[in-house]
Every structure is written in structure tokens, then in C-alpha cells.
Amino acid sequence: MRRLRNVKIVATLGPASDTYDMIHALHVAGADVFRLNMSHGSHDEIREKHRIIRQIEQDTGSTIGILADLQGPKLRVGVFAQESEQLDEGDAFRLDLDNAEGDRTRVCLPHPEIFAALEPGASLLVNDGKIRLRVERCGDDYADCTVVAGGVISNRKGVNVPDVMLPLAALSDKDRADLEFVCALGVDWLALSFVQRAEDVVEARDLAKGRAAILSKIEKPSAVTHFEAILAASDGIMVARGDLGVELPVQNVPPIQKRLVRKCRTAAKPVIVATQMLESMIESPMPTRAEVSDVATAIYEGADAVMLSAESAAGSYPVEAVTTMNNVAIEVEQDPTYTQIIEASRITEGKSIADGIVSAAREIAETTDIKAICCFTQSGTTALLTARERPRVPIIAMTPLVGTARRLALSWGTNCVLTETLDRFKMAVVAAARAARSEGFAGPQDQIVVTAGVPFNVPGSTNILRVAPCDERLIFSTDPE
């Protein structure tokens, strides 16, 4: 299903979007990748959503990516005798390992690893930062705190520890079980929550064993600090602004978002901007003007994808939310300023033959009457490098591997076409010409740029470029090979 935009849309599935008809409507409206949130729903429910997506893929002839988002280690307080208590600024409040029900003076925090890492002066944020505590004294099994910002604290509210790198693995026992389940099911991307260091990504990659690409969610200050190493270990990145905005001052998030998006583009790795993009559309059929500007900003920055969370998973207007995001993307990408911004931030230095090939393909396409760039790819690397160039013409990523095509559904501007396994460049050019015509990117009188690697079917070997006619008779008549 050809889109009229290059940025991709990720839609989260949930109670509001768990039927064939609704998921199909979301895809038609613009969703390119569906997110399965492993924090909610049983394995049977996840399996059914996966089955429906693959059925829609077959029925529409589209290539649809599936992203499984692992819950990660959730830090929560225990329970209260009265279910909730009011904490006021200046109150003393203790967190400890005592399983007794909490009151206005204390509650259990069943995470000894937090106490082991805390120091006086550290901040603890409860309930998405609505309550802020400052640690005055602490030991192996307690932390005596002062309430800096008060509010109602209730059973099992989440806790953030922004000032400390916690000795926590990014994968809990639940995450490991979920990872194995979704990899066996056949998802395309694994999103890791609360990544703190590159070692967290390496652990997940070892468990995935190549069955899914690894996407790291940047939502902790430590992940920002160690971003270069995390990026190098990951296949993609999500700028998850929810927890990031809780653990850091909110004014820090926009410049961090901009920096991370640019670094991902430099590395030719997909980046999603996520969280609260159209939050008001959970209950309203229309977004706020600020939300529209937020989506537009992410697109102007060059993000590969923008994401809907509760808007499509639990909201009253999931299709309208996807449609809004789709329309904003189309409008932004038609703005001449968008092209100027994207081209001004283009990376010009290449370090490999493949870098030079894709850069030349983009320049040829933009300075002559070329309708599309067709790149043959096994692992997806050539398509990602081409997408990094952000060419003004469409990218047709041709691959014999359906897994590669599905993973590329997350990458900017890639239109994936499955092809037979080829062993001759001339036949690849013929296949590219046919695909450009059949997918509506070019007519018989037009020309395309074709890139590939010779010998064929060797990942990372892109080394050849040809400008070719879309009429295959001309290809055979001008190339006697």
C-alpha cells in the first residue's frame, strides 16, 4: 500500500483496536507498524493480534512491521492500609523493605537494589513525578525522605530514580519469557524498556538470536549519557519522552530529542519519536494545535517514525488519530522548508563504498529526471543507507527476504517489494524496472537508479549503480549480457 509520505506511523494496539476490522482500518488510515505492548494482555491475546496483522498483510498485499515492546523492570511501592494517603510538602516519609501495609509515614518499596544504590540528596519520583521525595538518610533496607512535592500516593504506584544508575538488568524474568514468546511468534522488532547501558542491549540480542531487530527505548538519564554506545549496539532507537520527561527537567527533553534523532540518522538506524503525540485524541476527535505542532516538529527533525500509544490502543478515536498523524506528515513533507531542513542536515562524509554508492544514487536522482531509487538488499543495510540520504525521489527496497521487508517498514521512505533470489545484475535491473512500473512509481518511458551488490546475496556488498530505463526491452537491447 503506497503512502503519500516518507515518515512512518507506528500504532499501538489495545482494547480499542483488537479486531480485524479496526486493525485493518488503522492500516488503511496510515499505520505502517503495529506495536504490541507486553505490559498489557496475555500471550493468547498477543498471539491473536499477531495473527490478525499477518492476515491483513496477506489480504492487502502490504508489508507490515510488528514491534513487541517489553515491559522492563517496573519499580513500584507496595500497598497502603487505606489504599491511599495524602503526603504534604515538608512531611517525613520512609520507604523500606517491610511488607506491612503502608500509612502516612511509610510504605514498602520491595526493591533492595534501589536502597543499595541510593545516597543522601538523591530524588525519588512517585506516580510519574507527581510526588517528589528527597533522600535524607538511607541504608540497605530503608530511605528516610522529605516530601518536596506532595500529593496522593496510592497502591503500587511507579517509582523513578533519576539521579542513580540502578544495578538492574533491563530484562526481568517476565521480559525474558515474553521475548522468547514473541520471537517464536515472529515479530520483527523488540523494544527494550528502561535501557541504561549497552550491555542491556547485548543481553537482549543474545536471547533474540537474530529472530528480531533490537530497538532501545531512551527514557532514562543514564541512557542519554551512554547513548553512543547504546546506539552502536542497537538496530533502532525510540525516544520515549514519557519517562524521560519525568526523570529529567521537561525543558531538557526537546533538545535531547533533536540530538538523538540526528545521531540516529548519522548512524543510518531508524528512530521513533513517541509518547503523548496526540494525547488529547484519547477522548477528543480533534487534537490540540500544540499536539499537531509536536508531530510536525518530529517530522521536520527527520525522524523515521512517529508513534501513537494510548490514542490508538485505548482511545475513543483510534482511526481519527492515525488519520490526523498521516495528514500532518503529508502536509509537512510538502513544505519546501521541510526539504531545506532535511537537506541541510544531510551527512556528507562517507566511509565505505556503499556510502559512496547511495550518495551518488541520491545525487543522480535529484539532478536528472529519475523517478525512483531501487536498491537490492539482503540485510536491509543498503536501504537504511539510502534512507539516511533522504532523497527527493521514492526508495524501492527490493529483497527476497520477507523478514527484511517487514523490518524496513519502520525506516523512512522505504517502499518494500519482495523479489525472487537473483544472481545476475541484469536480471536485477529488469526486476527493478518491473517493480517501479507495477507499484506506480514510474512509467515505461521513465528512468530509475538501481543499486546492488555483486556478487549477489552477500550482505553489505553494495558496489554497483546503474541508471536504467523502465522499459525492459530497452534493458535487453542495450545490454547483450
Confidence of residue 478 (pLDDT cuts 50, 70, 90): low
Share of residues in the chain with pLDDT > 90 (%): 84
Residue 248 has φ and ψ, to the nearest 5°, of: -120, 155
| pLDDT the model gives residue 168 | 80
Catalytic status, residue 241 = no
CB contact set of 55 (below 8 Å; sequence gap of 6+):
20
Residue 209 predicted with pLDDT over 50? yes
Res. 347: pLDDT tops 90:
no
> 176 catalytic, yes or no?
no
pLDDT at position 425: 86
Which is more confident, 233 or 127? 233
pLDDT at 84: 94
Position 31 confidence tier, pLDDT thresholds 50, 70, 90: very high
Model pLDDT, residue 480: 47
The cell numbers describing 379, all together, are 540485510
Point out the catalytic residue in the list 106, 132, 217, 269.
217
Q: Is the dihedral of CA 392, 362, 437, 412 positive or negative?
A: negative
Retrieve residue 447's grid coordinates.
Answer: 528512468
State the DSSP H helix or E strand holding residue 290, giving kind and residue range, or none if neither. Answer: helix 289-301
3-state SS class at 477:
helix
Helices 20-29 and 43-60 cross at an angle (nearest 10°) of 50
Lowest-confidence region among 112-116, 153-157, 255-259, 350-354:
350-354
pLDDT tier at 454, thresholds 50, 70, 90: confident
> How many angstroms separate the CA atoms of 209 and 378, rounded?
17
pLDDT above 80 (res 476)? no
pLDDT for residue 348:
65
Span 381-428, pLDDT tens digits: 999 999 999 999 999 999 999 999 999 999 999 999 999 988 788 889
Q: Which three cell numbers, joined as nine digits, stand for 206?
A: 543474545
Is the predicted pLDDT of residue 479 greater than 90, yes or no? no
Residue 289 dihedral angles phi and psi, to the nearest 5°: -65, -35
Q: 371 by DSSP, 3-state: which?
A: strand
Q: pLDDT (tens digit, 9 = 90+) per residue, 238-266?
A: 999 988 988 899 999 999 999 999 999 99
SS3 label, residue 165: coil
Q: How confident is the model at residue 350 (pLDDT cuts 50, 70, 90)?
A: low
Mean pLDDT, rounded, of the chain? 94
The residue count for the chain: 481
Residue with cell 491483513: 56
3-state secondary structure of 130: coil
pLDDT at residue 49 tops 90? yes
How many Cα atoms within 13 Å fall on the side-chain side of residue 221?
Answer: 14
Q: Would you tell me how many other CB atoms lie within 10 Å of the CB of residue 200?
A: 25
Would you kindly state where each structural domain of the chain is located, as residue ranges? 8-72+170-334, 84-160, 353-478
Class of the CATH domain delimited by 84-160: mainly beta
Q: Which helix H or strand E contains 370, and what residues bound it?
A: strand 370-376
What confidence tier does 15 reach under pLDDT thresholds 50, 70, 90? very high
Q: How confident is the model at residue 276 (pLDDT cuts 50, 70, 90)?
A: very high
pLDDT at 301: 96
pLDDT of residue 453: 85
Tens-place pLDDT, residues 121-175: 999 999 888 999 999 999 999 999 999 999 999 999 989 988 888 888 779 999 9
Residue 196: pLDDT band with limits 50, 70, 90: very high
- Reply yes or no on whether 220 is catalytic: no
**Could you say which of 5, 8, 35, 205 is catalytic?**
35
User: What integer is the mean pLDDT of 466-474?
Assistant: 87
The CATH code for residues 353-478 is 3.40.1380.20
Tell which wins on pLDDT, 457 or 205: 205
Architecture per CATH, 8-72+170-334 = Alpha-Beta Barrel (3.20)
Instruction: Examine the residue annotation and report whether 217 is marked as an active-site residue of this protein.
Output: yes
